[in-house]
């Protein structure tokens, strides 16, 4: 017996709203998604322009009204998304569900904490939907491959970062021993650790630099080490990407029960919850 038939079906109204909001396979759904993408682009552009002081002084009230207009529209959209799915909690805790929520929360936070509006730039993450709207399945598949590779390599990367932090601690302490003093920029071990991080990552701000021959020699060693360790995480992730790249191409079909994507092309049932798509 189909497990999807155990649950009561969505009402025609909720089913229609779900089809329009979540599916890009229909003309109405495609039109909705394109309108949503343009809204995100315009709201992000308005936010960027408002940060320019000369423009804000001339058009401040207009930008504020625009921000509240888009915040209201996105709030209604988020409420409709929760209303038309079978499991609102699953959607709310999914990646896009979290992004949808935090894209509107800063607007309301700004009522209590002035100046929180720049956080609304997170709305740009919602543009990731462009790949499913325009049926760029190949890009969706590559995104899944990258996520699988990162997930598979997280243990190795964690060990690598722990080793790097230990190196930074030791190098910072050594540099403080060599160059430390009240009259130098190496005034403490944390300050020396900051120098070690900047040097090891080959950023080289130049705000702190050793002056003694021994300190310069240590700095040279750290620079060489930095070039060597850069390749380690790249190699780890590259191997995992090669392994994950053998996964089959997936579709952008959205499950109305668990709000998950990434199903096989010929899938009839959701491979995550088992319900009918």
* pLDDT score at 5: 42
Residue 28 pLDDT more than 70? Answer: yes
Q: Which two tokens stand for residue 51?
A: 């940060």
* pLDDT score at 108: 84
- Coil, strand, or helix at residue 22? helix
CA distance 72 to 107: 9
- Coil, strand, or helix at residue 111? helix
Q: Residue 204: which region, alpha, beta or left (left: phi > 0; alpha: psi -120 to 50)?
A: left
- Coil, strand, or helix at residue 16? helix
Residue 244 pLDDT more than 70? Answer: no
Instruction: Report CA-CA distances (Å) from 97 to 19, 173, 237.
Output: 17, 45, 27
As a whole number, mean pLDDT of residues 3-29 equals: 71
CA distance 246 to 196: 39
* pLDDT score at 143: 64
pLDDT digit string, tens, across residues 97-135: 888 888 888 888 877 777 766 777 777 777 766 655 555
Contacts of 138 (CB under 8 A, 6+ apart): 249
Rounded to 10 deg, the angle between the 27-50 and 12-22 helix axes is 60
* pLDDT score at 248: 56
Task: Judge if pTM exceeds 0.85.
Answer: no
pLDDT digit string, tens, across residues 210-229: 988 999 999 999 999 988 88
Total number of residues shown for the chain:
277
Tally Cβ neighbours within 10 Å of residue 164.
19
CA distance 72 to 89: 22
CA distance 125 to 27: 24
Whose tokens are 């997930």? That residue is: 151
As a whole number, mean pLDDT of residues 228-235 equals: 82
Contacts of 10 (CB under 8 A, 6+ apart): 18, 84, 86, 256
What is the chain's Cα-based Rg? 25
pLDDT digit string, tens, across residues 140-152: 566 667 777 778 7
């Amino acid at each position: 017996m189909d497990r999807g038939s155990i649950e009561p079906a969505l009402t025609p109204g909720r089913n229609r709203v779900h089809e329009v909001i979540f599916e890009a396979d229909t003309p109405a759904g495609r039109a909705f998604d394109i309108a949503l993408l343009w809204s995100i682009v315009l709201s992000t552009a308005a936010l960027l322009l408002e940060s320019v002081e000369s423009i804000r002084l001339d058009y401040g009230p207009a930008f504020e009204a625009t921000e509240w207009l888009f915040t209201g529209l996105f709030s209604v959209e988020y409420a409709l998304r929760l209303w038309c799915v079978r499991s609102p909690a699953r959607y709310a805790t999914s990646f896009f569900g979290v992004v949808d929520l935090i894209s509107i929360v800063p607007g309301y936070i700004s009522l209590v904490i002035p100046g929180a509006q720049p956080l609304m730039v997170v709305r740009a993450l919602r543009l990731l939907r462009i790949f499913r709207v325009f049926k760029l399945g190949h890009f969706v598949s590559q995104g899944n491959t990258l996520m699988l590779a990162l997930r598979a390599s997280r243990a190795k990367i964690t060990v690598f970062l722990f080793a790097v932090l230990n190196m930074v601690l030791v190098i910072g302490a050594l540099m403080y021993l060599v160059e430390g003093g009240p009259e130098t920029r190496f005034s403490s071990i944390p300050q020396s650790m900051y120098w070690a991080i900047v040097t090891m990552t080959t950023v080289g701000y130049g705000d702190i630099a050793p002056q003694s021959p021994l300190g310069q020699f240590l700095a040279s060693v750290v620079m060489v080490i930095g070039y060597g360790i850069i390749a380690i995480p790249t190699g780890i992730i590259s191997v995992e990407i090669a392994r994950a790249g053998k996964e089959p191409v997936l579709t952008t079909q959205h499950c109305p029960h668990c709000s998950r994507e990434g199903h096989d092309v010929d899938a009839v049932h959701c491979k995550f919850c088992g319900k009918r798509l």
